[in-house]
Amino acid sequence: MGYRAGVVGAAGFAGIELVRLLSRHPEFDLAAATSDALAGTPIAKAYPAFTGVTDLAFSTHENTDFSAFDVVFLAVPHKAAMGMAPDLMAAGVTVVDLSADFRLKDPAIYEKWYAPHTATDLLAQAAFGLPELTGDELAAAAERRAAGEAVLVGCAGCYPTATSLAAAPAIRAGLVDAVAPVVADAVSGVTGAGKKATERTHYCFANENLEAYGVGTHRHTPEIEQILGLEGRLVFTPHLAPLNRGLLSTVTLPLAPGAAPTTEELVELYRDFYAASPLVSVMDAGVQPRTASVAGTCRAQVGVAVHPAGMIVATGAIDNLGKGAAGQGVQCANIVFGLPETCGLEEIANPV
């Protein structure tokens, strides 16, 4: 008998990806998947890919008793999770949140970009969920859970994950100028915008089109700055591409005075940095990551090169629903429950 798991907001793209991963996870037993809109509908009817996989039907949020659950994953909109997490944790349930509600450490910054935070006590104790870069926070959360506490993980967003995995090794090695701007241009598939279609994400507008959006105002900016220590000097521009899933971030980092690494040296530095990170692969010099090579997985590919203009160009590719959302949530839960971080996440992408 494994750990009893539930998903709140299971009918959305990230939520149903959680259902997919948990349905075949060897240690987490998916016992409830909620959706007020689809309550009573078998999951396999709404998503026929689950035919023969699960007989579970969606339930409502309010009428699902999670008090006997070990872990609940929140795949709900921003500002909703902070209303749900306190009661779950009071019942002794560990919470893994995929929204932005528990990512930003400073409630004033959260209020600036979202709304006033109503659970600042939990915000202060939440572990940030980007295992390759915040492993110490997750390890501490695992210790607390092993001691009988309910813990909270605020998982990193998709753009911050790809961008930070690409840039962090160079920044932490002191190779990047400490005052100059850092530029991140990132491209995401349409599922990153959520299940509800808009004028930007409707097929007829998204297909055969590429556009920037949220220029200078995107909410993931402060999260990336927090992870990388770039407060006030990140120029982040997201783009929407006609892909179902996949995200590529290209980060241009000015070299620090006196720093003159070769591309080959950077590749070795990155490989050393991620040596204990089984879900991150660093590409050979001259080889770049591809979204198709990570789609459907919780894996990340990272590439790095020296530009002759005195810049490092680092690239990161992930699946926005995998390593950028649901897969990352499961990876964090694995760590918090003392499981191998790759448990249930061993799949590779389709090669063609």
Taking a C-beta distance cutoff of 8 angstroms, is the pair 326, 14 a contact? yes
> For residue 351, what are the contacts with CB-CB under 8 A and spacing of at least 6?
none
Burial of 341 (0-12, 13-18, 19+ CB in 10 A): buried
Residue 170 contacts residue 266 (beta carbons within 8 Å): yes
158 labelled catalytic: yes
- Burial class, 169, CB count within 10 angstroms (exposed 0-12 / middle 13-18 / buried 19+): buried
Q: What contacts 139, CB < 8 A, 6 or more positions away?
A: 335
188 strand-pairing partners: 240, 247
Could you tell me which of 107, 53, 40, 117 has the C-alpha nearest to residue 79? 117
Which one of the listed residues 155, 158, 298, 332 is annotated catalytic? 158
| CB of 250 closer than 8 Å to CB of 307 | no
Distance CA 70, CA 150 (A): 9
Under a CB-based contact definition with an 8 Å cutoff, are residues 303 and 288 in contact? yes
224: phi then psi, degrees, rounded to nearest 5: -65, -40
DSSP string computed for 144-178 = HHHTT---EEEEPPHHHHHHHHHHHHHHHTT-B-S
SS3 211: strand
Under a CB-based contact definition with an 8 Å cutoff, are residues 45 and 33 in contact? no
Total residues found in the chain within this entry:
352
Active site residues: 158
